Amino acid sequence: MEFEAVRISPGEYRGDALLVGLFQDGPEPAQALAALDAAVAAMVLEVISEEEFKPKSRQKLTVRVGGDTGLRKVLLVGLGEQAKYKPESLRQCIGEGARALKAIKATTAGVWVPPLSEGGEEATVEALVEAIRLALHEDRRFRSKKSDSEENGNSNNGGESKLTKVSLVVAGEGDYAEAVRRGNILAEGTIFARELVSAPANYVTAVTLAEQATAIAEANGLECEILEKEDCERLGMGAYLGVAQGTDLPPKFIHLTYKPAHGTPRKRVAIIGKGITFDSGGLSIKPAKGMELMKVDMGGAAAALGAAKVLGQLKPDIEVHFIVAATENMVSGHAIHPGDILTASNGKTIEVDNTDAEGRLTLADALVFSEKLGVDAIVDLATLTGACVVALGNDIAGLLTENEELARQIRAAGEASGEKFWQLPMEESYFEGMKSVVADMRNTGSREGGTITAALFLKQFVEKTPWVHLDIAGPVWTEKQKGYTNRGGTGFGVRTLVRFVLAQ
């Protein structure tokens, strides 16, 4: 699917369909559609009044035009209220519009929406490309039939799209090629993360993650260092290796570095992603029901690698380290026992009272490693606690930090991306419950406030670098198709991370 910005009047567009965005509180349809071809506008207005169509957010109306208009259909999509028109509301509505284009099997389409007040037409073009790409993403990697028509709509996204060319109608003379490029790169990085998350544990292992990191480095000129088990042993990463000892697969500690080509970077940041490619719980084994979903436990790693893929192409003047302590959490004769004591790379000792609290063990050594790099800030993303899903549901990630500036920056980047974060307190007194009789700490506290105690545990492995922890256990996966989001892995975090780095 190719996107182009075209400087034409919407009435001049010829193709299968024209997707038109309308405000619910905008001018009367007759006025809003005045730029269309007169015959087309008349047909559309007739159907609007017949169906009493109100362009509320994401409402759609399909009008067959045809004849000698050079257009098969006009698709109207509601953009909601004018005052609430932002990149994210546009993306949500156009995501639904893109699904309508797919439903009518359009191969060519024009898109005509009012420009965003913030960022103007370039931001509008970027948002359109991002949303249409993401909405139309269809993951058929694991189906034998590669086209939906062969198998009666058994799909995760209503069947594949036939769109080959999308023409975005613009009025000005901005750098739309760059906006199209950015929208494409952001969407592709997100799709990359979605597919890593959706692929099961027999397809995505620590080795796969390391291979993907190497490929990103090669394609975009990043540095990539993969620390093998022996390297991690030498660095004293006993917490991470404790988790890794239960699997027959080799652990891979991934360190991918993006450095600006010229000059000294304005800032240096580290992004850590939890990379448990399958979480069985270990000997503190999880119940069978729902265990299959624990393939998503590398969603933080997927977001970090997706962001690396994007930033490697957008090339900001910020140095970024991407770190993943990858392994799986399995049961075997050499798995850790509950009660085992592990020593992390900062010398602290941990009594593993629950082998299912494994993510924090891997992150502990990743945090120590990141801090040693001397970066200005550390962000970690992790599918860390079921408690966070209970607290915030599936659409909102937890955010925990003692640095309010970092919290603000993540929230701003999240808002620009349509990814939601809600801050939870770092209530120091809750760490009491994690004191151990025999070691420096235990790896779990009481059940209550599980997201907070997990963050307090991580805090033991950061000395002084500003750090923010993002618990993405809820939004990493969705069963709902909505806006530009499809069922399966969501790629949550990629776009927020990218905008966070770009805004440094």
Task: Give the burial class of 186: count Cβ atoms within 10 A of its Cβ; 0-12 exposed, 13-18 middle, 19 or more buried.
Answer: buried
Q: Which of 251, 200, 274 is nearest to 473 (CA)?
A: 274
Question: What's at 428, amino acid-wise?
Answer: E
Binding letters toward ligand BES, positions 332-371, x by CB under 6 A: ----------------------x-xxxx------------
Q: Which is nearer to ligand BES, 115 or 475 (CB)?
A: 475
Least CB distance to ligand BES at residue 447 (A): 7
Asked whether position 419 contacts Mn ion by CB under 5 A, the answer is: no
Task: Pick from 167, 444, 486, 496 the residue near ligand BES by CB under 6 A.
Answer: 444
CA–CA separation, 230 vs 212, rounded Å? 21
Q: What are phi and psi of 201, to 5 degrees?
A: -70, -15
Asked whether position 279 contacts Mn ion by CB under 5 A, the answer is: yes
Least CB distance to ligand BES at residue 287 (A): 11
| Closest chain position to Mn ion (CB) | 356
Q: Which is nearer to ligand BES, 110 or 275 (CB)?
A: 275
Q: Which is nearer to Zn ion, 354 or 423 (CB)?
A: 354
Active site residue 140: no
CA–CA separation, 172 vs 151, rounded Å? 44
Q: What are phi and psi of 36, to 5 degrees?
A: -75, 165
The first and second tokens of residue 444, run together, are 């779990």
Task: Pick from 193, 389, 413, 455 the residue near ligand BES by CB under 6 A.
Answer: 389
Q: Looking at 102, 360, 459, 495, which residue is catalytic?
A: 360
Candidates 123-131, 213-221, 380-388, 430-438: pick the segment binding ligand BES (CB under 6 A): 380-388
Least CB distance to ligand BES at residue 284 (A): 7
For residue 352, what are the CA distances in angstroms to 129, 274, 355, 446, 454? 47, 18, 6, 14, 13
The first and second tokens of residue 41, run together, are 């506008």
Q: Looking at 105, 286, 348, 487, which residue is catalytic?
A: 286
Asked whether position 279 contacts Zn ion by CB under 5 A, the answer is: yes
CA–CA separation, 442 vs 416, rounded Å? 38
CA–CA separation, 395 vs 377, rounded Å? 26
Q: Which is nearer to Zn ion, 359 or 474 (CB)?
A: 359
Candidates 204-212, 312-320, 379-387, 425-433: pick the segment binding ligand BES (CB under 6 A): 379-387
Active site residue 360: yes
Least CB distance to ligand BES at residue 357 (A): 4
SS (H, E, C) 370-387: HHHCCCCEEEEEECCCHH
Q: How many residues bind ligand BES (CB under 6 A)?
A: 17
The SS3 of residue 91 is: helix
Rg of the chain (C-alpha set)? 24
For the chain, what's the residue count? 504
Secondary structure percentages of the chain, helix, strand, coil, to 5: 40, 20, 40
Asked whether position 478 contacts ligand BES by CB under 6 A, the answer is: no
| Closest chain position to ligand BES (CB) | 386
Identify residues 319-378 at the interface with Zn ion (CB under 5 A): 359
Q: Which is nearer to ligand BES, 40 or 361 (CB)?
A: 361
Asked whether position 488 contacts ligand BES by CB under 6 A, the answer is: no
SS (H, E, C) 138-198: CCCCCCCCCCHHHHCCCCCCCCCCCCCEEEEECCCCCCHHHHHHHHHHHHHHHHHHHHHHH
List contacts with Mn ion (CB under 5 A): 279, 356, 358
Catalytic residues: 286, 360
List contacts with ligand BES (CB under 6 A): 279, 296-297, 354, 356-359, 383-387, 389, 444, 450, 473
